Amino acid sequence: MRLEQRITKHKRQIANDWFAILAGTYPPDTTRFLKTNKDTFTNPVGGTSRRTLEAVLDALLENAAPDHLAQQLDALIRIRAVQTMFTPSQATAFILDLKKIIRDTLKSNLQDADMQSQLLQFEARIDRLLLIAFDIFVRCREKIYAIKATEEQSKIYRAFARAGLVRANPDIKPDAGVS
């Protein structure tokens, strides 16, 4: 039996363990809420996280292309980019935890050399997933900072205009936003 088949056999447990680790990166009250409230309406972060982790695990099992992996991972990483409590490494480190979860879940099946080789190849996919997540995170944070900078520029321009320090010129307008 191939490694992917063994992982698929335990996919539900692996996804649940992965979600528990992700939820554990939040403060204790939030962790409890994320784990216990499964209603996607009242707990959209938990619902999005669960769906994303399951979809990403499926994509890894299919050895999906990087674009597909990025598409599956995007919503969760965007959430973590907006949450300022996380540094880039903290926001994406949960991806590496998947390696340990798989090793712990399949430890009795990882004895022979062929299975070890398959595991190393699968772990390389996880490493690439981490790089994709980091790229998504950085792009989102850059966009957030650009929006904040534009807002500040606009505030200053309006304050100067109210104070009469800016001469009206219909051809010159403050930046309307970041593209």
Per-residue confidence (pLDDT) for residue 88, from 0 to 100: 94
pLDDT in tens, 32-86: 999 999 888 999 999 999 999 999 999 999 999 999 999 999 999 999 999 989 9
pLDDT in tens, 109-132: 888 999 999 999 999 999 999 999
Domain-located, residue 170: no
Per-residue confidence (pLDDT) for residue 110, from 0 to 100: 86
Q: Over range 136-141, report the average pLDDT.
A: 95
Domain-located, residue 98: yes
Per-residue confidence (pLDDT) for residue 178, from 0 to 100: 53
**Sign of torsion over alpha carbons 141, 96, 40, 66:** positive
Domain-located, residue 172: no
Q: Which two tokens stand for residue 8?
A: 């698929």
Q: Over range 24-35, report the average pLDDT.
A: 94
Q: Say if residue 156's pLDDT is above 70.
A: yes
pLDDT in tens, 84-108: 899 999 999 999 999 999 999 999 8
Q: What is the pTM of this model?
A: 0.81
Q: Say if residue 177's pLDDT is above 60.
A: no
Domain-located, residue 79: yes
Domain-located, residue 94: yes
Domain span at residue 88 reads 3-144
Here the contacts of 136-145 (C-beta below 8 Å, separation 24 or greater) are 136/70, 136/73, 136/74, 136/77, 136/78, 136/81, 137/77, 137/80, 137/81, 137/88, 137/91, 137/92, 138/88, 140/77, 140/78, 140/81, 140/82, 141/81, 141/88, 143/178, 144/81, 144/82
Domain-located, residue 167: no
Domain-located, residue 155: no
Here the contacts of 8-11 (C-beta below 8 Å, separation 24 or greater) are 8/61, 10/105, 10/106, 11/54, 11/57, 11/58, 11/61
The structural domain count of the chain equals 1
Using 50, 70 and 90 to split pLDDT, how confident is the model at 141?
Answer: very high
Domain-located, residue 175: no
